[in-house]
A and B are shown apart, each in its own frame.
Chain A
Amino acid sequence: MQRFAPNRRTALKLAGAGAFGLATGLGWRPAFANPRGDGFLTASILGALPHLHPWDYSNHDFGALPILTYSNLVYTAPDGSLHPEVAKAMPEISADGLVYTFDLRDDVVFATGKKLTAEDVAYSFELYLERGRRRGDFRAFMESVTIEDTYRVSFQLERPWSGWLMYLTKYMGLLPAGTEHDSIYDTIVGSGPYMVTRFEPDVVIELEAKSDYYMGEALQKKIRLVRIADGATQLANLQTGQVDIIGTCPPKDFAPTVALPEYEGAMIPSAGIFYAPFNRQAAPFDNVHLRRAVASAIDREFICNELYYGVVTPSTLPAAPQEYWYDEELAKVHAYDPDRARFHLREAGMPNGFRFTATIPVPSAYIEAQEAAIIMQANLAEVGIDMRIRQMDFSSMYAAAQNGDFECFPHPSMQPSIEDYLLAQSYMCIAGKQYMSQPCNPAYDEVMAEVYLDNDQERRRPLLIEATRKLVEDCTSVWIGRLNTYHIWRTGIENFEPSYMYAMDLRKTHQPS
């Protein structure tokens, strides 16, 4: 009995053993579209389903629930584009980027039966600023909410941050005025298209379409979200017909499974990034040449395309190659080149290399960071750098990173938008807060403030490139690649696609019976 449980995800991956074999092997195959015939569209989620709260969650795939049950001023479509939701149109933004004014629809009804007005919007934001868990950044930007009229509301920001509109889809939900904060852990009061009919914490949530939804009753009447804590088991459940859409699967199995006629799948860039920030406050990485040596020695193509089978898109920059602010020239600065790594080692006065410790989260979300770490270790050994691995569970890891107790920290991270990554996760100092105890750069903050005047891509492009340039010059991190969202679903399911926001968006998805 002196045996220990393996970690949840790894064990379950093992548990799904041979799952792919079954898709290609003998035996029966599931019939197309809902082989169970129970009327439910069933989707599987990797992370915990602890409660029904619209924003108090830490795993990003839980977001599938608030998308179905709550609404916001604006809504981020799966492709990453912004659309008005409870607002009639996109907001009017003042020239200084500080005042946002919304006109509200007059036909929005909460699950409680109450009609939505500006008062509810103001109440929701005040409650969020008071009780929201991830509100730190939000509070640093938001100054006040003003009720202009019954159906008109305006927001005053302390400094420009147009990114907050996308942030809403991820971490917000409008509540009827007067709602007790603690009550929304157990009950849905939102104005989204679905309501919850059954909830077993961490096991299953069942939902039913609301007939009075202001944008018209959803086509799919019943949806079930089940928690399956591992990608391989999710795939096995898809193949045995228990689940119709899976949130994730082992990277290696994506392409072969999607190639089969029974299944469809898609992969798109998400707002997530796989990167390794340096601790620039302490040796050895207080020396920019050593940071550059490491950044130039990593073979990102191999890690992303071979090891992760393309579920990470290689990039030496925060932007993915297909994004509007990707800069070819900047991308070359720290491209894989062992000779340049050796050059930087000589510049640093350490031609024979040096030793450092990389802190790796185990288990990690989205991808197993440890796999990349093994390749990084080998890449670095080629130029004489000895990278040691320190594995940590994520609670310890947060504490270590916050205290600056790390040297280099390769990990995947998910954001409301990738521009927000530049803001919150990288370099900028918000309200005196230094991310991971790292030094600030006021010139960078200025550029980012200008970026966030609004969401106009043409105007933002040169500014974002300028911000990227500052990051690359200082080599604050090794950017390894961008995380993709990928799902597989049973052929015959209509209107489903992976989302830039990472969480599944099932609002329009339909499964013909």
Chain B
Amino acid sequence: MSTVVVERQSVTQPAPKASRRWLRQLWRDPLALISLVVLAVVLAAAIAPTWIATHSHVRPSMERLVPPSTERLMGTDQFGRDVFSRAVVAAQVSIAVGVITVVLALAIGVPLGAVAGFYGPGPIDTTIMRIMDVMLAFPPIILAIAVIAALGTESIEIGPFEIPHIAKLMFVIGLLYAPQVARVVRSAVLVEKNEQYVMAERALGASRPRILFRDVLRNCISPISVQATVLVANAIIAEASLSFLGLGIQPPQPSWGGMLADAKTYVQSGEWWLTVFPGMLIFVTVCALNVLGDYLRDVLDPREATAGAP
């Protein structure tokens, strides 16, 4: 849904020396600062989980369903595994899925949207956008369940390469998000292509692809980066939902959604820590990403920036 938030915003060229302003503004925006810290912590967990985890994240023990304590920060699950250590390791999955998925969505969506916007209106635009419409109109769960059920949840071996299940997950979610990216890019390009510099370059004889990919797209970076941040957040939720369904990360590897799924029979009998912590981690991470998305939009949109202090 966040697509539309940015979609209708008109875009102008970023003001010069934006990078320095970013930093200056960051200190004035405590929320964005906190979000950066949160993301840094999650990222640290994702990069080096073994430094942070206190116990094994896969080995069951007899200490089952122990409530949180100083020894067990988030308690243990029904298999006697340390919830905190699992949550730390799970960060890796969430971050990897979030980032790689969005890179994939951008790789598909940006060229499609750009071409549609730049060469439209016309048959190219219509064809691309109709295909995107079909994909957008589909209830996403159907595509996800269908593709994953068809591909299976084990790793596939193609020649010498072993494609792990997580790669398939990324592919499916990335594919689902590509139309959203395409739409945003298309509307940004639509605005941009009527700018005077485009006309000027055309008058000077620059080829259309050159103008599109060198100049127009560069000026669309602002909506694209905002959209990307929000999509990372959504992809994390999507992975969690798929794991919750049993189609995501396969046990014993933890993921936040998978941990919620494991907790399902225990929430009601008072083991609140099994549900609250993984859910909270998803929530906090996604929140931080959304704050960052807002922040980026504010600093990248000069009008917004100058209007900051009325």
Interface, chain A (partner B; CB < 8 A): 1-7, 10-11, 13-14, 16-21, 231-232, 235-236, 250-253, 256, 306-307, 357, 362-363, 368, 370-371, 373-375, 377-378, 388-393, 396
Contacts and interface: CB of A to CB of B under 8 A. Distances in A.
A90 B262 CA distance: 48
A22 to B, nearest CB: 9
A6 B261 contact: yes
B251 to A, nearest CB: 5
Contacts of B173: 2
B304 to A, nearest CB: 25
A391 B140 contact: no
B252 A378 contact: yes
Interface string B248-278: 0011100000001111111111100001000
B264 A14 contact: yes
B79 interface: yes
Nearest to B238: A2
A373 B144 CA distance: 24
A363 B264 CA distance: 12
A20 B251 contact: no
Given A2-B140, A391-B250, A13 B245 contact: no
A363 B244 CA distance: 11
B133 interface: no
B283 to A, nearest CB: 13
Contacts of B234: 2
Contact of A6 (B1, B238, B245): B245
Contacts of B262: 371
A7 B78 CA distance: 20
A368 B265 contact: yes
B78 A307 contact: yes
B149 A378 contact: no
A129 B136 CA distance: 48
A19 B152 CA distance: 35
B116 interface: no
A222 to B, nearest CB: 30
B142 to A, nearest CB: 10
A111 to B, nearest CB: 40
A357 B154 CA distance: 9
B251 A373 contact: yes
B154 A390 contact: yes
Contact of A362 (B59, B246, B266, B269): B246
A1 B246 contact: no
B58 interface: yes
Contact of A250 (B58, B59, B64, B269): B269
B14 interface: no
Contact of B144 (A4, A16, A390, A396): A4
Contacts of A377: 251-252
A7 B245 contact: yes
Contacts of B182: none
B268 A17 contact: yes
Given A20-B268, A377-B251, A4 B79 contact: no
Nearest to B58: A378
Nearest to B176: A2
5 nearest interchain CB pairs? A362-B246, A4-B241, A13-B264, A250-B265, A17-B267
Contacts of A1: 1, 140
A20 B271 CA distance: 11
Contacts of A2: 140, 173, 176-177, 180, 234-235, 237-238
Given A21-B268, A252-B266, A391-B153, A370 B251 contact: yes
A20 B141 CA distance: 31
Given A2-B237, A20-B270, A378-B58, A13 B265 contact: yes
A14 B267 contact: yes
Given A14-B260, A396-B149, 14 more contacts: A1-B140, A2-B176, A4-B242, A6-B245, A17-B267, A232-B264, A232-B265, A251-B265, A368-B265, A378-B59, A378-B252, A389-B250, A390-B250, A392-B152
Nearest to A21: B270
Given A18-B267, A250-B268, A256-B269, A5 B245 contact: yes
B247 interface: yes
Contact of B268 (A253, A371, A373): A253
B302 interface: no
A388 B58 CA distance: 13
Contacts of B237: 2-3
Contacts of A4: 140-141, 144-145, 238, 241-242, 244-245
A18 B274 CA distance: 12
Contacts of A392: 149, 152-153
B111 interface: no
Interface string B123-151: 00000000000000000110011000100
Contacts of A362: 246
A390 B152 contact: yes
Contacts of B68: none
Contact of A391 (B247, B265, B267, B270): B247
A284 B177 CA distance: 41
25 contacts: A1-B1, A2-B180, A4-B241, A5-B241, A6-B241, A6-B245, A10-B261, A14-B263, A20-B269, A21-B268, A21-B269, A21-B270, A232-B265, A251-B265, A307-B78, A363-B246, A371-B262, A378-B59, A378-B252, A388-B250, A389-B250, A389-B251, A389-B252, A390-B154, A390-B250
A14 B75 CA distance: 19
A362 to B, nearest CB: 4
A394 B128 CA distance: 37
Given A5-B245, A7-B246, A10-B264, A17 B275 contact: yes
Contacts of B79: 307, 371, 374-375, 378
A14 B276 CA distance: 12
B67 interface: no
A14 B153 contact: no
B138 to A, nearest CB: 11
A226 to B, nearest CB: 20
Given A17-B267, A388-B154, A388-B250, A374 B60 contact: yes
A370 B267 contact: no
Contact of A378 (B60, B141, B180): B60
